[in-house]
Amino acid sequence: MKFRVAREVLADAVAWTARSLPPRPSVPVLAGILLEVDGNQLSVSGFDYEVSARAEVDVNATEAGRVLVPGRLLAEITRALPPHQVDITAEGPRLSITCGNARFSLPTLPVEDYPSLPSMPSSAGLVDSDVFAEAVGQVAVAAGRDDTLPMLTGVRLEIEDDLITLAATDRYRLAVREFAWRPETPGVSAAVLVPARTLADAAKTLTSGPEIVLSLASGSSGEGILGLSGKDRQTTTRLLDAEFVKYRAIMPNESNSHATLPVGLFTDAAKRVALVAERGTPLRCEFTPGQVTLRAGGSDEEGQAEERCDVEFDGEPLTIGFNPTFLLDGLAAVHSERARMDFTSPLKPAVLSGVEEPAADDGRPEKPAERSGSYRYLIMPVRLPG
């Protein structure tokens, strides 16, 4: 195998593929990146039996072939190379990398022991890459991180014709986002559970093109694969075989009061007051007409903070406590200048959603934001002392 390629192109492809490599591979070959040259195209691949990643780049090749090399080391080297053309040659059990005056020689791994990458499932439809990245980012923040509860570490992806719904929960909060897509087959219906970390990483890094192709496949044993592909890149992940919670039954359908918050000002105030909130202690929110008072701390042995923020509030005065981190995560995800928070009671979940600003003097009432209004973030309250 022998080829020449631009350093920036090679480094980008290798770095993207290396993101999916396992930190502690079960067998040594899974720490490798597979380089394959066919014609004038180089594919850079990684696979750990759960997640696969493949990037394709154009090269000037004089000899085809395939070689497996230590992935993270290759990523570090290609990132550090000078800005010149890179010449790569496989010479027996070693890989030679030459760029300008820099030269590296790496040992190769036994390519015959490397597992075959899974085939990309058939296309289910197309979604705008920026919409998909925003939606996944809004929802994945609420996914759990305890691997002993796999049903909470995933994002539920539901397809009903031209609408996709994403949902995730860690039992203390629930995030739901809906958006339109373009299915290959009208009337398609599916529901799968995708590992949240894998989905979030793929959504953020497949935005180089305007669209993402979403592919699905399920086997007779119940195992399934989700495929995502963008411009010159594709990734697959095994789906989680777990039952997701019936989240629609958790989301309140009505409220007794609501507040309209200036997201920027309220977020800044919450961050300041939360500085004195020790781990596990709540941020106290006292809503009254026209304002909310935020408080944290309280005992003589710890810090105390209080700040008032102007808000619109409709309902009887309400005092409710939240985990400050969970509250700030929801505020960061609404992606609008103002947010609406609906309340049922101080001991029941509150629901946060974005608000669209009406055009100047058009007389229209405010309504959910076009891009963020289909996003809802339910947050469980924390019981306050006394």
Q: What is the pLDDT along the chain (386 residues), one digit of tens a residue?
A: 999 999 999 999 999 999 989 988 989 999 999 999 999 999 999 999 999 999 999 999 999 999 999 999 999 999 999 999 999 999 889 999 999 999 999 999 999 999 999 999 999 999 999 999 999 999 999 999 998 888 999 999 999 999 999 999 999 999 999 999 999 999 999 999 999 999 999 999 998 889 999 999 865 444 699 999 998 999 999 999 999 999 999 999 899 999 999 999 999 999 999 999 887 789 999 999 999 999 998 666 678 999 999 999 999 999 999 999 999 999 999 999 999 999 999 999 999 999 876 655 555 554 444 433 489 999 999 998 76
User: For residues 219 and 355, what is the distance between their CA atoms, to the nearest angstrom?
Assistant: 42
List, in order, residues 6 or more apart from 119 with CB less than 8 Å away: none
For residue 250, give Cα distances in angstroms to 218, 227, 254, 303.
28, 30, 12, 35
Give the pTM: 0.89
Tokens for 20, please give them: 């999916």
Q: Do residues 15 and 78 lie in contact, with contact meaning Cβ atoms separated by under 8 Å?
A: yes
Which domains does the chain carry?
A: 2-107 (3.10.150.10), 123-248 (3.10.150.10), 252-379 (3.10.150.10)
Q: Map residue 339 onto helix, strand or coil.
A: strand
The rounded distance, in Å, linking the Cα atoms of 386 and 383 is 9
